[in-house]
């Protein structure tokens, strides 16, 4: 079958009145899709934020800026603001120093394990921040693995590395988290550039160093600036790492809100400071998004960047990369390895090591006083909340993606994606206040505040995962189903939803992993008897029970690693094996080339293949030329609509 014939097969022809009816119907359907998320956000986000605004700007029943002026006039709060900006700037700089060479290495050189190293740059995003904080305590602490090794190796009486519980401890932990962000941006920006520009500069007499500073670096500048802007935003709004590694002396504004609300129980001052945090987060988010056009790297590549062998006997100078690789491996692998090792090697009370004693403590069903529940109860609560949050985020994300896709309104999209600009600690305080008043106070006792908070935090990532996949689907498929008489709902259930299944599974796994490691809003909403895995790790760490903290952190890392593995495996399997091969085998047997042309814009799975074959068979039956009395004519003209029949 020729490509033009295939295009006609999947492209129905509609009259102008029918197109107008479809357009207005699409707007009505988009409005219906938007009702659910708008109602949810009104109750779960905007109403709680109104409570923060009311409490932070009211005194004696009247609106006034006095509480805000009182908070900003406090020397301690001003020091929090200055320290937050200072550590964010230093963390961004160190992330750039560690991440830029890694992006360079991944782009310019090939070596065994390069793909694995590129994949490992995503590991910090999967790890919950509290596990990173624990790893830094165990590895870089005064009695940590690194200091003990150096003392034993060089016969030192005092630990030589003293970065823990200092500004540089926080900066180093943030660099661990955010250097891979810089590496990713640099890698993508570098691979998008055309190597002929550098080659032309070299031909004209420029040396390697001059060509790098005059050609390569200016081309990479937009990507580097984007990475730095994002890292600065993340470090400014960081919570778990400053809380665990900084304490009261090196607290940030996020930790300040938490201390005022949960330690001092001064909700009015906490709300006033939360308004400051909200303004800071909204301004930084706006600047980052607004600057995306200015800082976005422009691709000018006509051919791929050449890669050089790193291990080349003719160029032994490339071994100087070891001067970067070894310290970087120490920073990135040391803390994670320390957590896993400590869970087995720390001596049990009255016993030796290695031991599984601490895993018994982490999985114990006995109530622990400082948790208010059992460690096993914390694990079960985390799993239940993560499952509920992932399910709610999928429903909400699908509805928002459909509404935004049909209505194409910037204002509506901004409202529906509002949680992206709200700090998690502000969100936690807002829900803490809102669940004390109707209508949210009518909900039965349970982990509902945690579920609502986690849904608000993770559903934007679901939208970002599902939306582009939905936009990439061929619109002719839905139009073909609608031409055959299927309702909009039937077309969505039989054509679009099966094609989106792989994206939904990937988004659900991501939402589950993010919810499992969320701690900021959870710390604001936790109460006696309601604890999660990150909170249990923090409580074990605070009480110096490092063995139990390491065991529970290892359980959390294994759980998130399994989710990441299932995420990768499921996504690749559905997108690759179940999709294209099924369509080639069933829809176009023996005609691989034609089938490839049909599926170039989408990759359906088995269910979608059956639905699309039904659509194609109906269209083929109506459009196939009929031979009678020596004349050839169509079953119905191409400008008329096919008879309305069910799928």
Domains in the chain with CATH codes? 64-307+325-340 (1.10.3720.10)
pLDDT in tens, 524-567: 998 888 899 999 999 999 888 999 999 999 988 887 777 666 65
Give percent of the chain above pLDDT 70. Answer: 78
Q: For residue range 25-69, what is the model confidence (pLDDT) as tens digits?
A: 555 655 677 888 899 999 999 999 999 999 999 888 888 888 889
The pLDDT-based confidence of 568 (bands split at 50, 70, 90) is low
Task: Answer with the residue of higher pLDDT: 27 or 265.
Answer: 265
Whether the full predicted model's pTM is greater than 0.85, yes or no, is: no
- Residue 78: DSSP 8-state: H
pLDDT > 60? residue 188:
yes
| Cβ proximity of 219 and 263 under 8 Å | no
C-alpha 598/C-alpha 80 separation (Å) is 59
Tokens 């179940």 found at = 578
Helix (H, G, I), strand (E, B) or coil at 594: helix
The strand pairing partners of 628, in sequence order, are 631
Of 19-28, 353-362, 368-377, 389-398, the one with minimum mean pLDDT is 19-28
309 touches 508 (CB < 8 A): no
- The pLDDT confidence band at residue 246, using thresholds 50, 70 and 90, is confident
Cβ-contact 185, 224 below 8 angstroms: yes
What is the CB-side half-sphere exposure of residue 378 using CA atoms within 13 A? 35
Q: Please report which helix (H) or strand (E) contains residue 626, including its range.
A: strand 626-628
Question: For residue 402, which of 39, 41, 34 has the smallest C-alpha distance?
Answer: 34
Q: Which residues pair with 309 in a beta bridge?
A: 110
| Cα distance between residue 172 and residue 549, in whole Å | 21
Which of 465, 464, 420 lies closest to 237 in space, CA to CA?
420
Judge whether residue 433 has pLDDT over 60. Answer: yes
What's the sign of the alpha-carbon dihedral 263, 269, 271, 273?
negative
**pLDDT grade for 290, boundaries at 50, 70 and 90:** low
Q: Can you tell me the distance from the alpha carbon of 49 to that of 46, in angstroms, rounded to the nearest whole number?
A: 5
Query: What is the biggest distance separating any 2 CA atoms in the chain, rounded to whole angstroms?
Result: 106
Which of 117-126, 346-355, 607-616 ranks highest by mean pLDDT? 346-355
- CA-nearest of 539, 573, 563 to 368 is 539
Q: Which of 45, 167, 145 is nearest to 550 (CA)?
A: 145
What are 631's strand-pairing partners? 628
Q: What is the pLDDT of residue 381?
A: 94
Question: Is the predicted pLDDT of residue 615 greater than 50, yes or no?
Answer: no
The single residue listed with the structure tokens 């190796």 is 153
Q: Can you tell me the distance from the alpha carbon of 178 to that of 132, in angstroms, rounded to the nearest whole number?
A: 12
- Whether 23 has a pLDDT exceeding 60, the answer reads no
Q: What is the pLDDT of residues 154-169, one digit of tens each?
A: 988 889 988 888 899 9
| Confidence (pLDDT) at 567 | 58
Low-confidence winner among 92-106, 167-181, 401-415, 523-537 (lowest mean pLDDT)? 401-415
pLDDT at residue 619 above 60? no
78 token code pair: 């001003």
Q: Does residue 538 have a cis peptide bond before it, meaning omega lies within 30 degrees of 0?
A: no
Would you state the pLDDT for residue 125?
Answer: 67
């Amino acid at each position: 079958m020729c490509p033009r014939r295939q295009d006609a097969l999947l492209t129905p022809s509609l009259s102008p009145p029918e197109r107008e009816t479809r357009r207005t119907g699409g707007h009505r359907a988009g409005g219906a899709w938007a009702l659910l998320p708008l109602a949810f956000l009104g109750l779960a986000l905007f109403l709680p934020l109104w409570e923060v605004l009311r409490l932070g700007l009211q005194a004696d029943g009247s609106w006034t800026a006095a509480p805000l002026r009182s908070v900003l006039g406090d020397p301690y709060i001003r020091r929090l603001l200055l320290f937050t900006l200072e550590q964010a700037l230093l963390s961004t700089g160190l992330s750039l120093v560690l991440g830029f060479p890694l992006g360079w290495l991944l782009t310019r050189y090939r070596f065994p394990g390069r793909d694995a190293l590129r994949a490992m740059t995503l590991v910090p995003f999967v790890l919950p921040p509290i596990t990173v904080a624990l790893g830094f305590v165990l590895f870089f602490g005064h009695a940590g693995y690194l200091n003990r090794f150096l003392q034993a190796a060089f016969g030192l009486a005092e630990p030589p590395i003293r970065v823990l519980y200092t500004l540089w401890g926080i900066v180093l932990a943030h660099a661990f988290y955010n250097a891979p962000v810089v590496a990713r941006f640099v890698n993508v920006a570098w691979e998008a550039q055309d190597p002929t520009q550098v080659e032309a500069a070299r031909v004209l007499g420029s040396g390697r160093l001059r060509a790098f500073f005059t050609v390569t670096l200016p081309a990479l500048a937009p990507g580097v600036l984007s990475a730095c802007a994002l890292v600065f935003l993340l470090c400014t709004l960081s919570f778990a790492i400053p809380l665990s590694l900084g304490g009261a002396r090196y607290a940030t504004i996020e930790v300040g809100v938490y201390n005022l609300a949960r330690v001092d129980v001064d909700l009015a001052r906490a709300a006033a400071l939360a308004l400051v945090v909200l303004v800071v987060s909204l301004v930084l988010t706006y600047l980052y998004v607004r600057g995306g056009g200015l800082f976005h790297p422009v691709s000018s590549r006509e051919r791929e960047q050449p890669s050089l062998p790193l291990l080349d006997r003719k160029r032994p100078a490339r071994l100087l990369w070891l001067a970067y690789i070894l310290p970087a491996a120490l920073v990135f692998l040391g803390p994670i390895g320390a957590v896993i090792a400590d869970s087995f090697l720390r001596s049990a009370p009255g016993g030796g090591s290695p031991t599984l004693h601490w895993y018994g403590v982490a999985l114990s069903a006995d109530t622990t006083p400082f948790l208010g529940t059992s460690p096993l109860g914390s694990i079960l609560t985390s799993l239940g909340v993560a499952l509920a949050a992932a399910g709610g985020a999928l429903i909400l994300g699908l509805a928002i993606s459909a509404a935004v896709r049909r209505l194409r309104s910037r204002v509506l999209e901004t409202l529906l994606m509002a949680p992206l600009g709200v700090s998690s600690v502000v969100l936690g305080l807002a829900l803490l206040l809102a669940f004390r008043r109707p209508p949210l106070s009518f909900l039965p006792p349970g982990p509902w505040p945690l579920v609502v908070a986690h849904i608000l935090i993770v559903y934007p990532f679901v939208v970002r995962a599902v939306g582009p996949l939905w936009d990439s689907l061929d619109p002719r498929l839905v139009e073909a189903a609608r031409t055959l008489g299927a309702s909009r709902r039937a077309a969505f259930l039989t054509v679009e939803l099966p094609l989106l299944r792989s994206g939904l599974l990937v988004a659900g796994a991501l939402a589950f992993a993010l919810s499992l490691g969320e701690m900021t809003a959870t710390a604001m909403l936790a109460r006696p008897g309601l604890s999660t895995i990150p909170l249990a790790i923090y409580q074990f760490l605070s009480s110096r029970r490092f063995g139990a903290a390491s065991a529970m952190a290892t359980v959390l890392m294994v759980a998130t690693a399994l989710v990441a593995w299932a995420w990768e495996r499921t996504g690749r399997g559905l997108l690759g094996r179940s999709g294209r091969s099924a369509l080639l085998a069933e829809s176009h047997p023996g005609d691989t080339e034609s089938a490839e042309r049909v599926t170039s814009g989408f990759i359906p799975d088995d269910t979608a293949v059956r639905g699309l074959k039904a659509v194609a068979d109906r269209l083929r039956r109506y459009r196939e030329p009929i031979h009678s009395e020596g004349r050839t004519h169509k079953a119905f003209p191409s400008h008329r609509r096919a008879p309305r029949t069910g799928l």
